[in-house]
Amino acid sequence: MDIKKRKFFREGSKIQFVNNDKTFFYANISKLQWNCIGVIINTDQHNYRILNEEESVQFIYVMEDKAVMYNAKVIAYKLNDRLQFVLLTTPEIVNKIERRKHHRVTALVNVKYSFLPPDNIFMRKDDVSALYFKRMKKTFSVDISTGGLSLITYHNDDEVKQAIVTIKINEEEITVLCDVIRFDTGDDINVKTALEFIDIDNEDREIIRDYVDSRLKQVQISI
């Protein structure tokens, strides 16, 4: 496969080689060819080790929205005083790790929720019937971000696709239309349900952002 056509690889970009003990060291992509990739490694790094010819290696390439782990084999290398030049075979994907777009914090916040019928997909919270607000059940969150939250629902139904939720933060009650991402069942009746915000007012999202930021600062101060 032509590596140059893989637009996410860029000459000058950094990659992280992974050692067997899970430590890593950095390299810079120096050259892209149709069937190989050249990298330069600073040998002064703490966890650096020589990459030998014919050795199989793993490295991580970090992009804006995800990190991808690759396998490759060392075709050739050259060492000088402080640098190792390495030529690798075409990388093969091992695993993709999606990077979280929103900071998430552990938080116990009062929440009320009502699951919506799966045969009717809503796009706006204002379209949800008042009946579902009357049926809301009280619970609490496990964690929260500006993009969604996890809460305890005592309910596990794979057919459920959406929920209407009210969240109480600093005496403000925020109403959000959510998509159900997954149900995580434990050893008891409690079900951790992950929700993604679909329709939320900008002012309400800012309230959540301020809350998350304040919680993050508290964690940093306590460390």
Q: Domain spans of the chain?
A: 3-98, 105-217
Into which CATH architecture does domain 105-217 fall?
A: Beta Barrel (2.40)
Tokens 């009946």 label which residue? 131
> What CATH number is given for 3-98 in this structure?
2.40.10.220
pLDDT band at 187 (very low <50, low <70, confident <90, very high): low
Give the contacts of 78 (CB within 8 A, at least 6 positions apart): 84, 85
* Predicted pLDDT at 52: 97
- Answer whether 3-98 and 105-217 agree in fold: yes
Q: How confident is the model over 44-88, as pLDDT tens digits?
A: 998 999 999 999 999 988 765 567 889 999 999 999 989 999 999
User: By three-state DSSP, how is residue 82 classified?
Assistant: coil
The pTM of the full predicted model, rounded to 2 decimals, is 0.54
Q: How confident is the model over 131-173, as pLDDT tens digits?
A: 999 999 999 998 898 889 999 987 777 788 899 999 999 889 9
